Amino acid sequence: MGKRVIVVGGDAAGMSAASQARRANPGLEVVVLERGHHVSYGACGIPALIAGDIAAPEALVALTPPAVAARGIELRTDCEVVELRPAARQVVVRGGGTWRYDYLVLATGAAAVRPAWAGENPANVVTVRSLQDGIDLRRWVDSAGGRRAVVIGAGPLGLELAEALARRGVDVSLVARAKQLLSGFEAPDVEAVTAALTAVGVRPLLGRTVASLRCAAGRVAAVVTDQGEVGADLVVLALGVRPASELAARAGLPLGAAGGLVVNDRMRTATPGVFAAGDCVEVPHVVTGERVFAPLALTANRTGRVAGDNLAADSLGRASSQRFRGTAGSLIAQVAGFTIAGVGLNAAQATAAGFTVAVLSREYHSRAAYYPGGRPLRLRIVVDRHTRRLLGAQMVGEEGVAGRIDVFAAALHGRLTVDDVYHLDLPYSPPYGPVYDPVIDICGRASLEL
Protein backbone atom coordinates (compact mmCIF):
# COMPACT_ATOMS: atom_id res chain seq x y z
CA MET A 1 0.00 0.00 0.00
CA GLY A 2 1.01 3.58 -0.65
CA LYS A 3 0.71 6.49 1.67
CA ARG A 4 -2.21 6.61 4.08
CA VAL A 5 -4.77 9.39 4.33
CA ILE A 6 -6.95 9.57 7.43
CA VAL A 7 -10.09 11.69 7.13
CA VAL A 8 -11.87 12.63 10.35
CA GLY A 9 -15.58 13.18 9.64
CA GLY A 10 -17.54 11.52 6.85
CA ASP A 11 -20.03 14.09 5.64
CA ALA A 12 -19.80 16.75 2.93
CA ALA A 13 -16.22 17.92 3.38
CA GLY A 14 -14.71 14.64 4.58
CA MET A 15 -16.21 12.45 1.89
CA SER A 16 -15.39 15.01 -0.82
CA ALA A 17 -11.78 15.04 0.34
CA ALA A 18 -11.61 11.24 0.49
CA SER A 19 -13.17 10.78 -2.95
CA GLN A 20 -10.99 13.40 -4.64
CA ALA A 21 -7.82 12.06 -3.00
CA ARG A 22 -8.54 8.58 -4.37
CA ARG A 23 -9.50 9.92 -7.81
CA ALA A 24 -6.33 11.99 -8.08
CA ASN A 25 -4.03 9.29 -6.72
CA PRO A 26 -5.54 5.77 -6.76
CA GLY A 27 -2.40 4.55 -5.01
CA LEU A 28 -3.40 6.25 -1.76
CA GLU A 29 -4.90 4.29 1.10
CA VAL A 30 -7.84 6.44 2.25
CA VAL A 31 -9.62 5.78 5.54
CA VAL A 32 -12.62 7.79 6.78
CA LEU A 33 -13.33 7.75 10.51
CA GLU A 34 -16.87 8.91 11.36
CA ARG A 35 -18.29 8.97 14.87
CA GLY A 36 -21.94 8.68 13.70
CA HIS A 37 -23.80 5.95 11.79
CA HIS A 38 -24.35 7.95 8.60
CA VAL A 39 -21.96 9.42 6.07
CA SER A 40 -22.31 11.63 3.01
CA TYR A 41 -25.89 12.82 3.41
CA GLY A 42 -27.75 15.96 2.46
CA ALA A 43 -28.40 17.67 5.79
CA CYS A 44 -30.02 20.50 3.83
CA GLY A 45 -32.91 18.16 3.02
CA ILE A 46 -33.74 17.44 6.68
CA PRO A 47 -36.53 20.08 6.93
CA ALA A 48 -38.20 18.44 3.89
CA LEU A 49 -37.82 15.05 5.59
CA ILE A 50 -39.58 16.37 8.68
CA ALA A 51 -42.32 17.98 6.58
CA GLY A 52 -42.89 14.63 4.86
CA ASP A 53 -41.97 15.97 1.40
CA ILE A 54 -39.17 13.41 1.41
CA ALA A 55 -40.55 10.04 2.44
CA ALA A 56 -37.52 8.28 3.90
CA PRO A 57 -34.15 9.35 5.31
CA GLU A 58 -32.32 7.01 2.91
CA ALA A 59 -33.24 9.41 0.09
CA LEU A 60 -30.87 11.98 1.64
CA VAL A 61 -27.87 9.65 1.59
CA ALA A 62 -25.58 10.44 -1.32
CA LEU A 63 -23.10 7.60 -0.79
CA THR A 64 -24.02 4.33 0.91
CA PRO A 65 -21.23 2.31 2.60
CA PRO A 66 -21.02 -0.06 -0.43
CA ALA A 67 -20.72 2.96 -2.75
CA VAL A 68 -17.93 4.32 -0.53
CA ALA A 69 -16.17 0.94 -0.68
CA ALA A 70 -16.55 0.91 -4.47
CA ARG A 71 -14.54 4.13 -4.54
CA GLY A 72 -11.73 2.32 -2.78
CA ILE A 73 -12.28 4.15 0.49
CA GLU A 74 -12.21 2.34 3.83
CA LEU A 75 -15.01 3.56 6.06
CA ARG A 76 -15.26 3.18 9.82
CA THR A 77 -18.52 4.45 11.31
CA ASP A 78 -19.25 4.73 15.04
CA CYS A 79 -15.58 5.58 15.31
CA GLU A 80 -14.80 8.82 17.14
CA VAL A 81 -11.35 10.38 17.01
CA VAL A 82 -10.60 11.65 20.50
CA GLU A 83 -6.99 12.80 20.16
CA LEU A 84 -4.60 13.99 17.48
CA ARG A 85 -0.86 13.39 17.82
CA PRO A 86 0.61 15.47 14.99
CA ALA A 87 4.21 14.93 16.05
CA ALA A 88 3.79 11.15 15.72
CA ARG A 89 1.37 11.47 12.76
CA GLN A 90 -1.26 9.48 14.63
CA VAL A 91 -4.89 9.81 15.66
CA VAL A 92 -6.41 8.05 18.65
CA VAL A 93 -9.97 6.73 18.49
CA ARG A 94 -12.41 6.13 21.35
CA GLY A 95 -11.50 2.79 22.92
CA GLY A 96 -7.79 3.49 22.55
CA GLY A 97 -6.88 2.33 19.05
CA THR A 98 -4.47 4.45 17.03
CA TRP A 99 -4.14 5.09 13.31
CA ARG A 100 -0.96 6.33 11.68
CA TYR A 101 -1.25 8.74 8.78
CA ASP A 102 0.86 10.38 6.11
CA TYR A 103 -1.90 12.93 5.45
CA LEU A 104 -4.70 13.93 7.79
CA VAL A 105 -7.89 15.75 6.77
CA LEU A 106 -9.91 17.30 9.56
CA ALA A 107 -13.54 17.60 8.46
CA THR A 108 -15.28 17.68 11.81
CA GLY A 109 -17.93 20.17 10.75
CA ALA A 110 -19.88 22.45 13.02
CA ALA A 111 -21.76 22.00 16.27
CA ALA A 112 -25.14 23.51 17.11
CA VAL A 113 -25.04 26.34 19.63
CA ARG A 114 -26.59 25.21 22.92
CA PRO A 115 -26.83 27.99 25.50
CA ALA A 116 -26.33 27.28 29.20
CA TRP A 117 -30.07 27.79 29.90
CA ALA A 118 -30.83 24.78 27.67
CA GLY A 119 -29.40 22.46 30.34
CA GLU A 120 -27.32 19.39 29.68
CA ASN A 121 -29.65 16.68 28.47
CA PRO A 122 -33.38 17.19 28.84
CA ALA A 123 -34.80 14.55 26.48
CA ASN A 124 -37.14 16.96 24.73
CA VAL A 125 -34.66 19.76 23.94
CA VAL A 126 -33.12 19.04 20.56
CA THR A 127 -30.85 20.52 17.94
CA VAL A 128 -30.95 19.50 14.29
CA ARG A 129 -27.50 18.95 12.93
CA SER A 130 -27.02 15.34 11.84
CA LEU A 131 -29.17 12.98 9.80
CA GLN A 132 -29.84 11.09 13.04
CA ASP A 133 -31.24 14.30 14.57
CA GLY A 134 -33.54 14.58 11.55
CA ILE A 135 -34.64 10.95 11.85
CA ASP A 136 -35.39 11.44 15.57
CA LEU A 137 -37.42 14.60 14.94
CA ARG A 138 -39.34 12.97 12.10
CA ARG A 139 -40.13 10.05 14.44
CA TRP A 140 -41.44 12.50 17.05
CA VAL A 141 -43.69 14.14 14.46
CA ASP A 142 -44.90 10.76 13.13
CA SER A 143 -45.74 9.48 16.62
CA ALA A 144 -48.81 10.57 18.49
CA GLY A 145 -46.54 12.03 21.21
CA GLY A 146 -46.48 15.72 22.07
CA ARG A 147 -48.14 18.24 19.83
CA ARG A 148 -46.62 21.56 20.91
CA ALA A 149 -43.19 22.54 19.67
CA VAL A 150 -41.28 25.70 20.47
CA VAL A 151 -38.60 26.55 17.92
CA ILE A 152 -36.06 29.03 19.29
CA GLY A 153 -34.24 31.05 16.65
CA ALA A 154 -35.59 32.84 13.56
CA GLY A 155 -32.77 32.29 11.06
CA PRO A 156 -33.30 30.25 7.89
CA LEU A 157 -33.04 26.88 9.66
CA GLY A 158 -35.43 27.89 12.47
CA LEU A 159 -37.97 29.03 9.89
CA GLU A 160 -37.63 25.92 7.74
CA LEU A 161 -38.06 23.67 10.77
CA ALA A 162 -40.99 25.68 12.18
CA GLU A 163 -42.81 25.49 8.86
CA ALA A 164 -42.09 21.76 8.48
CA LEU A 165 -43.51 21.02 11.93
CA ALA A 166 -46.58 23.24 11.40
CA ARG A 167 -47.32 21.55 8.09
CA ARG A 168 -47.41 18.24 9.96
CA GLY A 169 -50.09 19.57 12.32
CA VAL A 170 -47.83 20.45 15.23
CA ASP A 171 -48.74 23.58 17.21
CA VAL A 172 -45.58 25.67 16.66
CA SER A 173 -44.36 28.78 18.47
CA LEU A 174 -41.31 30.50 17.03
CA VAL A 175 -39.45 32.41 19.74
CA ALA A 176 -36.67 34.86 18.91
CA ARG A 177 -34.95 37.79 20.57
CA ALA A 178 -34.90 39.78 17.32
CA LYS A 179 -38.01 41.79 16.54
CA GLN A 180 -38.23 40.32 13.04
CA LEU A 181 -37.56 37.07 11.24
CA LEU A 182 -34.22 36.71 9.47
CA SER A 183 -32.33 39.50 11.18
CA GLY A 184 -29.78 39.68 8.35
CA PHE A 185 -32.54 41.01 6.08
CA GLU A 186 -34.28 44.39 6.23
CA ALA A 187 -37.64 44.31 8.03
CA PRO A 188 -39.86 45.43 5.08
CA ASP A 189 -38.40 42.67 2.88
CA VAL A 190 -39.54 39.89 5.20
CA GLU A 191 -42.97 41.18 6.33
CA ALA A 192 -44.77 39.04 3.73
CA VAL A 193 -42.74 35.98 4.82
CA THR A 194 -43.86 36.50 8.42
CA ALA A 195 -47.48 36.67 7.30
CA ALA A 196 -47.12 33.56 5.15
CA LEU A 197 -45.46 31.62 7.95
CA THR A 198 -48.27 32.62 10.29
CA ALA A 199 -50.79 31.44 7.69
CA VAL A 200 -49.26 27.94 7.68
CA GLY A 201 -49.76 27.80 11.45
CA VAL A 202 -46.54 29.12 13.01
CA ARG A 203 -47.00 31.58 15.90
CA PRO A 204 -44.12 34.10 15.76
CA LEU A 205 -43.22 35.32 19.27
CA LEU A 206 -40.58 37.87 18.38
CA GLY A 207 -38.68 40.34 20.55
CA ARG A 208 -38.61 37.83 23.42
CA THR A 209 -35.55 36.75 25.35
CA VAL A 210 -35.43 33.21 26.72
CA ALA A 211 -34.49 33.18 30.39
CA SER A 212 -34.73 29.48 31.21
CA LEU A 213 -36.59 26.26 30.63
CA ARG A 214 -39.13 25.03 33.19
CA CYS A 215 -38.73 21.30 33.74
CA ALA A 216 -40.99 18.66 35.25
CA ALA A 217 -39.86 15.03 35.68
CA GLY A 218 -36.69 15.56 33.64
CA ARG A 219 -38.53 17.04 30.67
CA VAL A 220 -39.08 20.62 29.66
CA ALA A 221 -42.67 21.72 30.14
CA ALA A 222 -42.31 25.36 29.13
CA VAL A 223 -39.89 27.92 27.75
CA VAL A 224 -39.64 30.85 30.15
CA THR A 225 -39.21 34.17 28.36
CA ASP A 226 -39.04 37.77 29.58
CA GLN A 227 -42.65 38.04 28.45
CA GLY A 228 -44.10 34.91 29.99
CA GLU A 229 -44.04 31.15 29.49
CA VAL A 230 -44.64 29.18 26.31
CA GLY A 231 -45.80 25.60 26.89
CA ALA A 232 -43.79 22.94 25.08
CA ASP A 233 -43.75 19.18 24.47
CA LEU A 234 -40.58 19.67 22.41
CA VAL A 235 -38.04 22.50 22.21
CA VAL A 236 -35.98 22.85 19.03
CA LEU A 237 -32.88 25.03 19.35
CA ALA A 238 -32.01 26.76 16.07
CA LEU A 239 -29.55 29.31 17.38
CA GLY A 240 -26.80 28.84 14.86
CA VAL A 241 -23.63 26.78 14.77
CA ARG A 242 -19.97 27.15 15.68
CA PRO A 243 -16.92 25.40 14.22
CA ALA A 244 -16.29 21.96 15.76
CA SER A 245 -12.60 22.65 16.15
CA GLU A 246 -11.89 21.55 19.75
CA LEU A 247 -10.13 18.31 18.77
CA ALA A 248 -7.66 20.23 16.62
CA ALA A 249 -7.27 23.04 19.16
CA ARG A 250 -6.35 20.50 21.88
CA ALA A 251 -3.55 19.29 19.59
CA GLY A 252 -2.24 22.84 19.30
CA LEU A 253 -3.55 23.75 15.84
CA PRO A 254 -4.27 27.49 15.73
CA LEU A 255 -7.82 28.83 15.46
CA GLY A 256 -8.91 32.09 13.87
CA ALA A 257 -11.04 34.85 15.33
CA ALA A 258 -14.29 33.02 14.49
CA GLY A 259 -13.07 29.80 16.15
CA GLY A 260 -12.42 27.90 12.93
CA LEU A 261 -9.18 26.23 11.88
CA VAL A 262 -6.68 28.37 10.01
CA VAL A 263 -5.88 27.03 6.54
CA ASN A 264 -4.38 28.42 3.35
CA ASP A 265 -6.14 28.41 0.00
CA ARG A 266 -5.05 24.79 -0.52
CA MET A 267 -6.75 23.83 2.76
CA ARG A 268 -3.42 23.11 4.40
CA THR A 269 -2.95 23.91 8.08
CA ALA A 270 0.49 25.00 9.31
CA THR A 271 1.01 21.50 10.78
CA PRO A 272 2.90 19.17 8.38
CA GLY A 273 0.62 16.72 6.58
CA VAL A 274 -2.57 18.14 8.10
CA PHE A 275 -5.36 19.58 5.94
CA ALA A 276 -8.78 20.78 7.07
CA ALA A 277 -12.00 21.53 5.22
CA GLY A 278 -15.70 22.29 5.61
CA ASP A 279 -17.55 23.93 8.47
CA CYS A 280 -14.60 23.52 10.85
CA VAL A 281 -12.39 26.02 8.96
CA GLU A 282 -12.41 29.75 8.30
CA VAL A 283 -12.38 30.88 4.68
CA PRO A 284 -11.77 34.26 3.03
CA HIS A 285 -14.78 36.40 2.12
CA VAL A 286 -14.69 37.51 -1.51
CA VAL A 287 -15.83 41.03 -0.68
CA THR A 288 -13.77 41.88 2.39
CA GLY A 289 -10.91 39.38 2.14
CA GLU A 290 -11.41 38.73 5.87
CA ARG A 291 -11.44 35.17 7.14
CA VAL A 292 -14.97 34.19 8.11
CA PHE A 293 -16.93 31.21 9.37
CA ALA A 294 -19.30 30.32 6.49
CA PRO A 295 -20.99 27.02 7.32
CA LEU A 296 -22.57 26.28 3.95
CA ALA A 297 -22.86 23.09 1.94
CA LEU A 298 -21.14 24.09 -1.29
CA THR A 299 -18.19 25.57 0.58
CA ALA A 300 -17.88 22.35 2.61
CA ASN A 301 -17.95 20.14 -0.48
CA ARG A 302 -15.61 22.39 -2.42
CA THR A 303 -13.03 22.88 0.31
CA GLY A 304 -13.06 19.11 0.85
CA ARG A 305 -12.35 18.53 -2.81
CA VAL A 306 -9.54 21.12 -2.76
CA ALA A 307 -7.98 19.42 0.28
CA GLY A 308 -8.20 15.98 -1.36
CA ASP A 309 -6.71 17.20 -4.62
CA ASN A 310 -3.84 19.01 -2.96
CA LEU A 311 -2.84 16.20 -0.67
CA ALA A 312 -3.01 13.72 -3.57
CA ALA A 313 -0.83 15.99 -5.71
CA ASP A 314 1.61 16.34 -2.83
CA SER A 315 1.77 12.56 -2.50
CA LEU A 316 2.72 12.39 -6.20
CA GLY A 317 5.37 15.07 -5.71
CA ARG A 318 3.63 17.77 -7.73
CA ALA A 319 1.42 20.81 -7.13
CA SER A 320 -2.35 20.84 -7.57
CA SER A 321 -4.11 23.52 -9.63
CA GLN A 322 -7.00 23.53 -7.14
CA ARG A 323 -7.25 26.46 -4.74
CA PHE A 324 -10.24 27.74 -2.80
CA ARG A 325 -11.18 31.20 -4.03
CA GLY A 326 -13.44 32.34 -1.22
CA THR A 327 -17.03 32.54 -0.06
CA ALA A 328 -19.70 35.11 -0.84
CA GLY A 329 -21.77 33.74 2.07
CA SER A 330 -24.41 32.87 -0.53
CA LEU A 331 -27.62 31.57 0.96
CA ILE A 332 -31.05 30.69 -0.32
CA ALA A 333 -34.00 29.13 1.49
CA GLN A 334 -37.64 28.38 0.89
CA VAL A 335 -40.02 29.48 3.61
CA ALA A 336 -43.83 29.29 3.41
CA GLY A 337 -43.92 29.72 -0.35
CA PHE A 338 -41.28 32.45 -0.43
CA THR A 339 -37.70 32.23 -1.52
CA ILE A 340 -35.28 34.29 0.52
CA ALA A 341 -31.75 34.76 -0.75
CA GLY A 342 -28.72 36.84 0.03
CA VAL A 343 -25.15 37.10 -1.21
CA GLY A 344 -22.27 39.18 0.07
CA LEU A 345 -22.73 41.87 2.67
CA ASN A 346 -25.88 43.57 3.91
CA ALA A 347 -25.75 47.31 4.64
CA ALA A 348 -24.78 46.91 8.31
CA GLN A 349 -22.02 44.41 7.53
CA ALA A 350 -20.65 46.57 4.71
CA THR A 351 -20.60 49.64 6.93
CA ALA A 352 -18.89 47.69 9.71
CA ALA A 353 -16.30 46.52 7.16
CA GLY A 354 -15.44 50.17 6.46
CA PHE A 355 -17.20 50.75 3.15
CA THR A 356 -19.08 53.96 2.36
CA VAL A 357 -22.33 52.33 1.47
CA ALA A 358 -25.22 53.14 -0.85
CA VAL A 359 -28.34 50.97 -0.67
CA LEU A 360 -30.96 50.73 -3.38
CA SER A 361 -34.16 48.78 -2.88
CA ARG A 362 -37.19 48.32 -5.05
CA GLU A 363 -40.17 46.09 -5.59
CA TYR A 364 -40.35 44.41 -9.00
CA HIS A 365 -42.48 41.87 -10.79
CA SER A 366 -41.16 38.39 -11.46
CA ARG A 367 -42.56 38.41 -15.04
CA ALA A 368 -43.27 41.09 -17.66
CA ALA A 369 -45.98 43.38 -16.25
CA TYR A 370 -48.57 42.25 -18.80
CA TYR A 371 -47.79 38.56 -18.50
CA PRO A 372 -50.18 36.61 -16.24
CA GLY A 373 -49.06 34.99 -13.01
CA GLY A 374 -46.22 37.32 -12.01
CA ARG A 375 -45.50 37.85 -8.34
CA PRO A 376 -43.87 40.73 -6.44
CA LEU A 377 -40.10 40.48 -6.02
CA ARG A 378 -38.22 42.62 -3.52
CA LEU A 379 -34.63 43.39 -4.40
CA ARG A 380 -32.01 45.29 -2.43
CA ILE A 381 -28.40 45.94 -3.38
CA VAL A 382 -25.49 47.28 -1.38
CA VAL A 383 -22.89 49.28 -3.32
CA ASP A 384 -19.54 50.86 -2.48
CA ARG A 385 -20.06 54.57 -3.24
CA HIS A 386 -16.39 55.15 -3.98
CA THR A 387 -15.67 52.32 -6.40
CA ARG A 388 -19.29 51.58 -7.47
CA ARG A 389 -18.52 47.91 -6.82
CA LEU A 390 -21.39 45.65 -5.74
CA LEU A 391 -20.96 44.48 -2.14
CA GLY A 392 -24.10 42.44 -1.65
CA ALA A 393 -27.67 41.73 -2.71
CA GLN A 394 -30.81 40.38 -1.08
CA MET A 395 -33.96 39.14 -2.72
CA VAL A 396 -37.31 37.90 -1.44
CA GLY A 397 -40.23 36.70 -3.55
CA GLU A 398 -42.50 33.83 -4.45
CA GLU A 399 -40.85 33.20 -7.83
CA GLY A 400 -37.86 34.33 -9.83
CA VAL A 401 -35.39 34.63 -6.94
CA ALA A 402 -33.24 31.57 -7.65
CA GLY A 403 -31.27 32.30 -10.77
CA ARG A 404 -31.40 36.08 -10.39
CA ILE A 405 -29.48 35.99 -7.12
CA ASP A 406 -26.84 33.88 -8.87
CA VAL A 407 -25.99 36.83 -11.12
CA PHE A 408 -25.11 38.84 -8.02
CA ALA A 409 -23.00 36.00 -6.61
CA ALA A 410 -21.06 35.93 -9.89
CA ALA A 411 -20.75 39.73 -9.79
CA LEU A 412 -19.23 39.59 -6.31
CA HIS A 413 -16.67 36.99 -7.37
CA GLY A 414 -15.84 39.07 -10.44
CA ARG A 415 -15.68 42.29 -8.38
CA LEU A 416 -18.13 43.86 -10.84
CA THR A 417 -19.45 47.40 -10.50
CA VAL A 418 -23.12 48.33 -10.86
CA ASP A 419 -22.19 49.70 -14.31
CA ASP A 420 -20.80 46.29 -15.34
CA VAL A 421 -23.98 44.49 -14.27
CA TYR A 422 -26.22 47.12 -15.90
CA HIS A 423 -24.60 46.31 -19.25
CA LEU A 424 -24.88 42.50 -18.97
CA ASP A 425 -26.81 40.85 -21.75
CA LEU A 426 -29.23 38.72 -19.73
CA PRO A 427 -31.78 36.65 -21.65
CA TYR A 428 -35.35 37.98 -21.88
CA SER A 429 -38.79 36.50 -22.47
CA PRO A 430 -42.04 37.73 -20.80
CA PRO A 431 -42.74 34.64 -18.64
CA TYR A 432 -39.33 35.10 -17.00
CA GLY A 433 -39.19 38.83 -16.37
CA PRO A 434 -39.47 42.36 -17.75
CA VAL A 435 -37.22 43.32 -20.65
CA TYR A 436 -35.09 45.29 -18.22
CA ASP A 437 -34.76 42.46 -15.73
CA PRO A 438 -34.82 43.54 -12.05
CA VAL A 439 -31.11 42.67 -11.83
CA ILE A 440 -30.28 45.01 -14.71
CA ASP A 441 -32.78 47.66 -13.73
CA ILE A 442 -31.62 48.14 -10.15
CA CYS A 443 -27.98 48.30 -11.23
CA GLY A 444 -28.95 50.71 -14.01
CA ARG A 445 -30.62 52.97 -11.47
CA ALA A 446 -27.51 52.79 -9.32
CA SER A 447 -25.34 53.46 -12.37
CA LEU A 448 -27.29 56.63 -13.17
CA GLU A 449 -27.95 57.87 -9.63
CA LEU A 450 -24.70 57.26 -7.75
Ligand X SMILES: Cc1cc2nc3c(=O)[nH]c(=O)nc-3n(C[C@H](O)[C@H](O)[C@H](O)COP(=O)(O)OP(=O)(O)OC[C@H]3O[C@@H](n4cnc5c(N)ncnc54)[C@H](O)[C@@H]3O)c2cc1C
Of 339 and 447, the one with the shorter C-beta distance to ligand X is 339
Of 8 and 68, the one with the shorter C-beta distance to ligand X is 8
Least gap, CB of 6 to ligand X (angstroms): 10
Least gap, CB of 43 to ligand X (angstroms): 4
Question: How many Å apart are CA 28 and CA 311, to the nearest integer?
Answer: 10
CB–CB of 307/275 below 8 Å?
A: yes
Of 256 and 295, the one with the shorter C-beta distance to ligand X is 295
Of 287 and 335, the one with the shorter C-beta distance to ligand X is 335
Question: How many Å apart are CA 218 and CA 439, to the nearest integer?
Answer: 53
Amino acid symbol at 10: G
Least gap, CB of 219 to ligand X (angstroms): 23
For 282, the 3-state DSSP assignment is coil
Q: Which residues are CB-contacts of 246 (< 8 A; sequence separation ≥ 6)?
A: none
Least gap, CB of 341 to ligand X (angstroms): 11
Q: Which residues are CB-contacts of 222 (< 8 A; sequence separation ≥ 6)?
A: 213, 214, 229, 230, 231, 232
Catalog residues that contact ligand X under the rule CB under 6 A: 8-14, 33-36, 43-44, 46, 80-81, 107-110, 128-129, 157, 244, 247, 278-279, 295-298, 300, 333
* Torsion-angle region of 363 (φ positive above 0: left; ψ -120 to 50: alpha; else: beta): beta
Least gap, CB of 366 to ligand X (angstroms): 21
Of 36 and 201, the one with the shorter C-beta distance to ligand X is 36
- E runs forming strands in 217-310: 219-225, 228-231, 234-237, 241-243, 274-276, 283-284, 291-292
Of 244 and 350, the one with the shorter C-beta distance to ligand X is 244
Q: How far is CA 247 from CA 85, 109, 261, in A?
A: 11, 11, 11
Which string of DSSP letters, residue by residue, matches 140-200? Answer: HHHSSS--EEEEE--SHHHHHHHHHHHHTT-EEEEEESSSSSSTTS-HHHHHHHHHHHHHT
Of 332 and 450, the one with the shorter C-beta distance to ligand X is 332
Strands 4-8, 103-106: pairing kind: parallel
Least gap, CB of 152 to ligand X (angstroms): 15
Question: How many Å apart are CA 126 and CA 236, to the nearest integer?
Answer: 5
Q: How far is CA 241 from CA 45, 185, 260, in A?
A: 17, 19, 11
CB–CB of 68/32 below 8 Å?
A: yes
Least gap, CB of 44 to ligand X (angstroms): 3
For 442, the 3-state DSSP assignment is helix
Which position among 44, 79, 215, 280 bears the catalytic label? 44
Angle between helices 12-24 and 297-315 (to 10 degrees): 30
Least gap, CB of 268 to ligand X (angstroms): 17
SS (H, E, C) 353-379: CCCCEEEEEEEEECCCCCCCCCCEEEE
The question of whether 44 is a catalytic residue gets the answer yes
CB–CB of 281/303 below 8 Å?
A: yes
- E runs forming strands in 34-137: 73-76, 81-85, 90-93, 98-100, 103-106, 110-112, 125-127
Which residues are part of the catalytic machinery? 44
